[in-house]
Structure 1
Amino acid sequence: MADQPEQLAVTLVDQRLAGEAAPFAERLVSDRVASKLTSQDPTLWGPDAEPESAIRLSWTTLHDTSRPLLAEIEALRAELQADGVDRVVLAGMGGSSLAPEVITSTAGVPLTVLDTTDPGQVADALAGDLDSTVLVVSSKSGSTVETDSHRRIFEKAFTANGIDAASRIVVVTDPGSPLESASLDAGYRKVFTADPNVGGRYSALTAFGLVPSGLAGADVGALLDDAAAASKVLSLDSEENPGLRLGAALGAAHARGAEKVVFADTGSGITGFGDWAEQLIAESTGKNGTGLLPVVAESPDSPGFADAGTDATTVAIGPSATAAIAVTGPLGAQFLLWEYATVVAGRLLGINPFDQPDVEAAKKASRALLDNPDAANAGEPSFVDGPVEVYGVPGTAGPSTLAETLRQFLALVPDAGYISVQAYLDRLDDASAILLRTELARRTGTQTTFGWGPRFLHSTGQYHKGGHQNGVFLQLTGAVENDLEVPDRPYTLGVLQRAQALGDGQVLAERGRPVLRLHLTDRAAGLAHVVRALEGIGH
């Protein structure tokens, strides 16, 4: 694999797009963007971005600098297996969970990912065999509220089951972080530190991506080999450079109004790649009122991909004769390719691809609600329709049925806008919620995204507030039957989950975006009721 960089390919299937991208690519070559990027030149995105980019470019050499980790990971895995510990649970958000999930799913090795505050989903993870479990706590600072909550809950559960908790907790963090010092003081099994000059969404090939994946049994050395092979061609100032070609195509498409990038897998052998790319692209480009909104479609035949309009560009992960762009290559190479292409697109869009200026707004709103339990109360619903409570009906005329509410709400989508479905539910037990994406896209003809809350807050949440302001937001929350206490914190997981939904909805509403929240008093029945309510909405 390592000696076949030609496996990495970007094909511009759409000849119109190929023609539009050509002058962008020529300019990128003339400006020597690829070689400057590989040499970590922080001036590529302008003087305003330079302070941030100066400390965010180490991802370009991770295929070399991460290699010392391999022996450490393998040694720890052997130790754990000798102790009968072979179940890996990962507590992490955003880049700390999305890359390991793609890596392990593609490798076909088990990894339990906790990037949720849903009590039921966390309880399911706790119900696994704790005697054989190691918890990987993955956070750059350690202050991520979801990950800190998971650590506290598992630490208590280990102890309650007679297990030495410190021996079952492995930490990945930045050097010098509060989490590093606290973990060393607590005597946790192992503390890995990652390169601090790599942002979370570019961290797939750092300790954040490699440690949990390697402990779970994935061949992370092969990822670095494939990335190393790809780096040779990605650093060339040539129009044959697939990173420049892809970045130029994304920039050219956006320049003519295609502000959405619709992903579908076409037999790549990579599982869940769109979810990782979604964070990388949305958080990197969605700011200053511009950006590229990723839409992850279920298949090439899905609504939004098969019938993409002029406001969208289709990208196949794998070979394709119908998508506008087809990208092929092994996973390690694709990680690096998309990172190059995203920052190149950022240059063409005139933004800083390394900051996330709007992410903190929702976190602050959630913290304020946690500090004020009365404010965190959702209040009375506008009305109740069966197992669904309806909260907030912006721009509608006071309907009293769910079907009419949805009809009026969806009528608020502007031309070339999008619908965002945000499900603060159990990603496993409530998995059918994702059907709402296809239903809405098919019935409205509008590009529709789906995100599990709060995980999307660390991903597309930046675009929602900072990107093109043409989205409408459908929140789903659900009744909590059995809540979980967060040790030494004044809130439960259920309270935290509600505060995150209400906080983000509040920020979106303050920015003039339509937000409709549907609370499912019975989750299964409520989801079915929402789908039935959509049946009368036609394209």
Structure 2
Amino acid sequence: MTVRVHATGAAGEAVARLVPQLVADGVASGITTLDPSLWGPAAEEESAKRLGWTEAVAISDALVEPILALRDTLHARGVKHIVLGGMGGSSLAPEVITQTYGVALTVLDSTDPGQVRAALEDRLAQTAVVISSKSGSTVETDSQKRVYEKAFRDAGIDPIERIVVVTDPGSPLDVSARADGYTVFNADPNVGGRYSALTAFGLVPSGLAGVDIRNLLDEAQSMELTLALDTPDNPGLVLGAAIAGTVPLKDKLGIVADGTYIVGFADWAEQLIAESTGKDGKGILPVVLDTDSPELGLNLPDLQIIRLVGDEDDTREVREGEIEISGSLGGQMLVWEYATAVAGRLLGINPFDQPDVESAKIAARGLLDARPEPTEPLFVDDSGVEVRVAGGLELAEHTLSGAIGALLAQLGPDGYVSLQAYLDRVHHPEFAALRDVFAAKSARPVTFGWGPRFLHSTGQYHKGGPAVGVFLQITAQPDETHDLAIPDRPFTFGQLIQAQAAGDASVLAEHGRPVLTLTLRDVAAGAAAITAAIG
């Protein structure tokens, strides 16, 4: 299926104005031939080692047979359940791939002890685990590997036969896993995590779970020539210009699944765009929307809507001012990667680095090492919610509704709300519904992220992008009776997720971002209490 992009309004004007110059400058062919100079001298060193994703299809073809052979071996051992321990680009691509292909995969991209325990207790005797980390030092995946190793041994199962590792060659995880005898798949080190969907990071867990990964690569391959050509109808150039070239810039991108067969694509695109463009005070903020989300009826001047539609809808008239895109999953993944690189050039930033991602990790690590006593809440609401503030946020009244009102009052005309739930997303999906509640109340774009996974995604934009966001953290009060130890580590999963939330709040505050943290003593009643407080 060919990927088609249609743009009207300001986005259409941007395409008409910018694509001819992109064609004249040879941007598409330059990306394909790995030209690191396209994003300016300051970005050249990083770009020179981050363009391998343009060759991912050809390089990944050699992985297909080994992945399928391992799948057969695991089936022979009685494995019927695949778990993926990964964060950010290591988990978001396999999640959309398996959901779209209708294949079961348990994605463990959390440090919430309840969510980790639930995964451990789910068909362990029939489970194989993919531990996926580009750097090989990601604390979440290291912790997941340790806890699964212990669980397998306790069950009388050799973890060497049940754990598969995906990482960059020469990483700490690559070295230790090979020494221990684990099966290891290496990915191309010249591909950044968020561009790694069509590399081993996307293919190994998806293929082991049962996806036809050769078909996925074929879909992407069918778009390679089109994307390499400097032509006005190149969808990578058209999409890049449409999302990053409007005047004035519509720097919020509302992504709506509206007829596409692809499941969960916006969550993958969210990381790709936010982490690639959110830096130097610039960026495009992706906002994952439903077809009935409040923002769609607000006519916000800084919100560009893009709809993911089905191929059967190609002849319908595009809504005025919107972008529509259709096509296969593999084809769209490659198109959006090209478009994001093009957007970086138009915005004048380096789309391949992530200078602010490490700050929250460093802060969390410091809290784990120092193990300070929790700060006392400013007050505890009648519903049992502990309220804390940071980043200069001041409250006129000590009520939950007053605290939320004070946070929303910090919103400017070009601001956004970031909701961050450091909770068990498997057992408490109801918190995601708060996104629409806050959008209706604030009349501004609202993003929602499960912590700590969003730290590997939109977390870069929060610190490096435009300083117009307000931040609401939702955490759970530590419960030592239901916590989960991490083997050979001096901290538990409960302590880790608390440190990640507190660490990110401190970094946001240092950047002058207002932060409201609500700690729930009763998680089951938490979403209803917050909704009631909004009024």
Please give the TM-score of this superposition, normalised by the length of structure 2: 0.96
Which residue pairs with 1:233 in the alignment? 226
**Is it true that 1:19 corresponds to 2:16 in the alignment?**
no
* Cα distance in 2 between the residues matched to 1:76 and 1:239: 43
Which residue pairs with 1:449 in the alignment? 447
Measured after TM superposition, the shift of residue 165 of structure 1 is 1.2
Question: How many equivalent pairs are there?
Answer: 525
TM-superposition CA deviations, 1:374-422 (whole Å, max 9, x none): 25x2333433332211111643344121111111211111111000000
Which residue pairs with 2:244 in the alignment? 251
**Is it true that 1:420 corresponds to 2:387 in the alignment?**
no
How do 1:368-447 residues align onto structure 2 when only pairs under 5 Å count? 368-374=366-372, 377-392=374-389, 394-447=392-445
The one-letter amino acid paired with 1:8 is: V
Which residue pairs with 1:78 in the alignment? 72
* Residues 418, 446 of structure 1: 8 Å contact kept: yes
Measured after TM superposition, the shift of residue 20 of structure 1 is 3.0
- What secondary structure, in the 3-state scheme, does the structure 2 residue paired with 1:374 have? coil
Which residue pairs with 2:187 in the alignment? 194
Which residue pairs with 1:287 in the alignment? 279
* Cα distance in 2 between the residues matched to 1:159 and 1:313: 51
The one-letter amino acid paired with 1:169 is: I
Measured after TM superposition, the shift of residue 186 of structure 1 is 1.2
* Cα distance in 2 between the residues matched to 1:383 and 1:522: 12
Measured after TM superposition, the shift of residue 476 of structure 1 is 0.2
The one-letter amino acid paired with 1:505 is: A
TM-superposition CA deviations, 1:442-500 (whole Å, max 9, x none): 12111000000000000000000000100000000013441000000000000000000
- What secondary structure, in the 3-state scheme, does the structure 1 residue paired with 2:107 have? strand
Please give the TM-score of this superposition, normalised by the length of structure 1: 0.96
Q: Alignment partner for residue 47 of structure 1, among 31, 38, 41? A: 41
The one-letter amino acid paired with 1:512 is: G
* Residues 119, 480 of structure 1: 8 Å contact kept: no
The one-letter amino acid paired with 1:161 is: A
Q: 1:20 to 1:185 in 2, by over 3 A?
A: closer
**Is it true that 1:119 corresponds to 2:110 in the alignment?**
no
The one-letter amino acid paired with 2:96 is: V
Measured after TM superposition, the shift of residue 308 of structure 1 is 4.2
* Residues 462, 469 of structure 2: 8 Å contact kept: yes
**Is it true that 1:498 corresponds to 2:498 in the alignment?**
yes
Range with greater deviation from structure 2 (321-330 or 392-401): 392-401
* Residues 205, 224 of structure 1: 8 Å contact kept: yes
* Cα distance in 2 between the residues matched to 1:378 and 1:520: 15
* Residues 473, 516 of structure 1: 8 Å contact kept: yes
* Cα distance in 1 between the residues matched to 2:173 and 2:395: 50
Range with greater deviation from structure 2 (305-314 or 45-54): 305-314
Range with greater deviation from structure 2 (461-470 or 385-394): 385-394
- What secondary structure, in the 3-state scheme, does the structure 1 residue paired with 2:472 have? strand
Measured after TM superposition, the shift of residue 16 of structure 1 is 3.8
* Residues 387, 529 of structure 1: 8 Å contact kept: no
Q: Alignment partner for residue 363 of structure 2, among 358, 362, 365? A: 365
Q: Percent identity?
A: 54
* Cα distance in 2 between the residues matched to 1:418 and 1:132: 44
* Cα distance in 2 between the residues matched to 1:111 and 1:465: 32
The CA RMSD over aligned residues, in Å, is: 1.2
* Cα distance in 2 between the residues matched to 1:334 and 1:126: 34
**Is it true that 1:9 corresponds to 2:1 in the alignment?**
no
- What secondary structure, in the 3-state scheme, does the structure 2 residue paired with 1:390 have? strand
* Cα distance in 1 between the residues matched to 2:105 and 2:471: 31
Which residue pairs with 1:107 in the alignment? 101
* Residues 361, 500 of structure 2: 8 Å contact kept: yes
* Cα distance in 2 between the residues matched to 1:378 and 1:218: 47
Measured after TM superposition, the shift of residue 335 of structure 1 is 0.4
Range with greater deviation from structure 2 (16-25 or 70-79): 16-25
The one-letter amino acid paired with 2:239 is: L
Which residue pairs with 2:176 in the alignment? 182
* Residues 89, 135 of structure 1: 8 Å contact kept: yes
* Cα distance in 2 between the residues matched to 1:47 and 1:130: 51
* Cα distance in 1 between the residues matched to 2:489 and 2:507: 25
Q: Alignment partner for residue 462 of structure 1, among 448, 460, 463? A: 460
- What secondary structure, in the 3-state scheme, does the structure 2 residue paired with 1:353 have? coil
Which residue pairs with 1:130 in the alignment? 124
* Residues 290, 467 of structure 1: 8 Å contact kept: yes
* Residues 15, 238 of structure 2: 8 Å contact kept: yes
* Residues 278, 461 of structure 2: 8 Å contact kept: yes
* Residues 80, 126 of structure 2: 8 Å contact kept: yes
* Residues 187, 200 of structure 2: 8 Å contact kept: yes
TM-superposition CA deviations, 1:478-530 (whole Å, max 9, x none): 13441000000000000000000000000001111100000010001122100
* Residues 251, 345 of structure 1: 8 Å contact kept: yes
* Residues 475, 517 of structure 1: 8 Å contact kept: yes
* Cα distance in 1 between the residues matched to 2:59 and 2:296: 38
Which residue pairs with 1:484 in the alignment? 484
* Residues 257, 310 of structure 1: 8 Å contact kept: no
* Residues 389, 521 of structure 1: 8 Å contact kept: yes
* Cα distance in 1 between the residues matched to 2:532 and 2:488: 42
* Cα distance in 2 between the residues matched to 1:288 and 1:313: 21
Gap regions ≥5 residues in structure 1: none
Which residue pairs with 1:351 in the alignment? 349
* Residues 264, 305 of structure 1: 8 Å contact kept: no
- What secondary structure, in the 3-state scheme, does the structure 2 residue paired with 1:66 have? helix
* Cα distance in 1 between the residues matched to 2:443 and 2:209: 41
* Residues 11, 243 of structure 2: 8 Å contact kept: no
